[in-house]
Amino acid sequence: MRRLLVKHKTEMVYAGKARESINELRLLPRSTPRQTVELSHIVVTPPVPVYRHFDVFGNEVAWFQVEEPHEHLVVEAHALVMVSATGLSDDAIPRHALDDPRLIDQFADFLLPSDIVDWSAVVDKFAERLELGAPTDVAAWLRNLERAVNDAIVYRQGVTGVDTSVEHVVRAGHGVCQDMAHLFIALCRRQGIPSRYISGWMYQAGRDEPSESHAWCEAWTPGVGWVEFDPTHPDPDLSYYVRVAVGRDYADVPPFRGTYVGDPTKQMLVSVEIEERASDEGALGIIPATRRAAH
């Protein structure tokens, strides 16, 4: 179990003045069976009230409006989360357990294709090359799929976007974490296994790479429930992962989305800092006292 302090910062720099800026954020983690949120907070500069609600998938959404002209917009999300590692047991899970019509209806959102997560003849041929066959033991098949996607797709930044389709990823043979997550989801749904997209943060303790925003996925398994997988880092230690939001694909859970009137965006800077805190360290001092009114 780890106690992680996350500081996620987004800075928008405009070419001139922006006004009437309305923004929606999915940067507030929620407590789940494997993580307990001790604190979550949004700070906006210029300072404005921040409001919260829940979306259809149960994600906590923050939104705010900046009406006055401004040249910079800074959004800082702070969270203190206790995270544990859970995973799939070695018990076999028969595929026919997913054929219950009530389950198919319950998880329809996570079984149907979308603009990003779809399967075509190209994806079908890719699935055949993985040589996983049809799942008989769902648990074993999911573990093998996690590794197979990682082996087949080369991690490469700057060649795909947030709306890149699964077919494009398969044709290119490379992508980033969200692309591998979308591909894993598509191959699960293709076999009738409910699956969904997770956005969050990954702690890179003791590694050369900085901590970062990350995307992974989870599949629903009979008798167990939702189980997380990361085709970018197969067999993950989930105590390094802070969940923020879930959806059918990336389009449901963008961290920052908004509109404004004014000059074009000149630059968008995003940074993530994560540090491990001792269990007996208090939360005081994490957020500047003068900014706490925006809860």
- Tens of pLDDT, residues 218-247: 999 888 889 999 999 999 999 999 999 999
**Phi, psi dihedrals of residue 174, rounded to the nearest 5°:** -150, 165
**Cα dist from 197 to 50, 57, 105, 225, 226, whole Å:** 26, 11, 19, 15, 12
CB-based contacts of 281: which residues, under 8 Å, 6+ apart? 3
Q: What is the CATH T-level fold of the domain 2-83+254-294, as seen in this structure? A: Immunoglobulin-like (2.60.40)
Task: Please tell me the distance from the alpha carbon of residue 292 to that of residue 89, in angstroms, as a whole number.
Answer: 42
Q: Which residues of the chain form CATH 3.10.620.30?
A: 95-236
Percent of the chain, pLDDT > 90? 79
Residue 253's pLDDT is 97
CATH number of 95-236: 3.10.620.30
Instruction: Return the structure tokens found at 28.
Output: 């507030």
Cα 205 to Cα 29: distance, rounded to the nearest angstrom: 20
Segment 64-89 mean pLDDT:
92
Domain with CATH 2.60.40.2250 in the chain: 2-83+254-294
Nearest Cα to Cα of residue 37 among 86, 78, 85, 97 = 78
- What pTM does this model have? 0.91
Is pLDDT above 50 for 206? Answer: yes
